[in-house]
Structures are given as C-alpha cells and as structure tokens.
Amino acid sequence: MISIKRYFYFLIYMMLIMTFLPVVNINLPPVIGSFHFYALLWVLSLLLFKPALFGKKAILQVMIIGVLFTVIFPLTIWRQLDEWNMKAILYEFYYIFISLTIYWYFITTKDYYGFARIIKVTLIFIIVTALLQSILL
C-alpha cells in the first residue's frame, strides 16, 4: 500500500515533469500527460488529507487576490480586457496557487529534505530541457 506522503510526492513529481520536462509531456497520452489533471488531483488530495493547509494566511491572501483579478476586476475596472489577457491572468493565478500549496505542504509537514530534493530535481529537469533545446535547434 502506498503512503500518503509517497502519493503527494508522486503528484508533485508528475506536475514537475509536465511543467519542466516537455519531452516526456509530449509523448504521454492526453489525460496522463496533462498538468491540469495532476493539479486537480493535487488540490482534491489536499482538501481530503490536509484541509488545514487552506487556512494558511498566505494561501488565503492568494485566493482573495485571485478572485479580485479573475472575477471582480474584469467585470468592473477592466471591461476592455480581451480574451487572451484574461486567460493569461487566470493561468498565472493558477500556477501561483499550485506552487504556493506545494511550498506550504512542505513547510507544514516540516519535510525540508524532501523540499530540497524536489528543487534539485526541478533544476535537473530545467538543465536537461535547455540542453535538448540547444541540441535540437
């Protein structure tokens, strides 16, 4: 049986692969190769296993700012906001929210070694992607 900690690590690694290693992302089937699928699983898993995480001040602030920028401002101040810019703002909020929940997951579980390992793997993925880009271009 898989532990909850390993399950969260699996979700984090899959989101990292989908974001920072596009060579793998491109070759996976549509549902399995989607960052949004793993992000949805991540948020649902946090709601199920770690609901206290959403009570953190930083996450609440990001959620309030996200509602302002994605719902309130386009209806009031930014009436001339085009579709492309609205979608870009929504995606920026989305990625900031997911990354902040990952950060606070490691802070609340006090798993600093695991957080350092995730950062190392992310840097390796970025370097591999940069090397592949320079070789293929």
Question: Who contacts 85 (Cβ-Cβ below 8 Å, separation ≥6)?
Answer: none
Query: Token digits for 45?
Result: 């898993």
What are the tens digits of pLDDT across the range 21-78?
888 888 888 888 888 899 999 999 999 999 988 888 888 888 888 888 888 888 788 8
Distance CA 90, CA 70 (A): 6
For the chain, first and last CA: distance in Å? Answer: 44
Question: Who contacts 80 (Cβ-Cβ below 8 Å, separation ≥6)?
Answer: none
103 has pLDDT over 70 = yes
